[in-house]
Amino acid sequence: MCSWARPGTPLQYFGWCLNSSATGSHSSLIVILLVYVIITNQATAVYKVSSIASQNKVPIIADGGISNSGHIVKALTLGASCVMMGSFLAGSSEAPGAYMVQNGQRVERCRGMGSLEAMTKGSDARYLGDTTKLKIALGVVGAVADKGSVLKFVPYTMQAVKQGFQDLGACSVQDAHELLTSTLRLEVRTGAAQVEGGVHGLVYFEKKPF
């Protein structure tokens, strides 16, 4: 185990080893939970790590689980300075991957960095598998729906994040971090509350984000 991963040494990890740290759980292409059983909910991980990192002025990158603008607002509010958007941008025209038609829908092939296919291309080093004969798959290969160009949906996402910050009363990421330590309160929502907060009770509806 790396020295920075041992309990009781987070300050040494942040203060001496890194200029920034990626924190989170996993992406939609990773199966670490099934293999290692070492996982922390993204929101909890970002909040707890950033509370320590901020003491050493180390920025945090929220990595994993970002699938809409609301997740970005939550991550930045919980202490992250920016977010990784791998699954969010997957399927865009600018993302790598071959297109194909599956069940009448145009999809783009993608692979997790922990998949055996990616490991044969050199990603095994990041999972400490480059020196072992038996490689353990920590990801999968799959496909995502075609999303078109990022030039179409990224401006919408940026505006949605701005409006989220406006509702919070934060003018910047720094303001959002300060709110977390003063007046901002987070609540855990039940599954029923999440259903009630979304579109429901309709026989049919058409969703057009922009």
pLDDT tens digits along 153-201: 899 999 999 999 999 999 999 999 999 888 888 888 898 998 898 888 8
0.85 exceeded by pTM:
no
For the chain, what percentages of helix, strand and coil (3-state, to nearest 5) are there?
Answer: 40, 15, 45
Q: What is the pLDDT of residue 116?
A: 78
Q: Each residue of 116-127: b (16+ CB within 10 Å) or e?
A: bebbeeebbeeb
Span of 76-80, 139-143, 158-162, 205-209 with lowest mean pLDDT? 205-209
Q: What is the pLDDT of residue 13?
A: 44
The mean per-residue pLDDT over the stretch 110-125 comes to 78
- Rounded Cα distance between 179 and 182, Å, is 5
- What counts of helices (H) and strands (E) characterise the chain? 9, 6
Q: How confident is the model at residue 20 (pLDDT cuts 50, 70, 90)?
A: very low
- Rounded Cα distance between 73 and 71, Å, is 5
Q: Which residue has the higher pLDDT, 100 or 119?
A: 100
Q: What is the pLDDT of residue 4?
A: 39
- Rounded Cα distance between 5 and 44, Å, is 17
Does the pLDDT value for residue 11 go beyond 70? no
Does the pLDDT value for residue 54 go beyond 80? yes
The mean per-residue pLDDT over the stretch 12-21 comes to 44
Q: What is the pLDDT of residue 16?
A: 39
Q: How far is CA 8 from CA 11, 12, 52, in A?
A: 8, 9, 12
Cα dihedral sign for 164, 170, 174, 179? negative
Q: What is the pLDDT of residue 167?
A: 92
Class of domain 3-150+170-192: alpha beta
Residues 22-51 have pLDDT tens digits of: 554 445 555 455 555 455 567 888 888 888
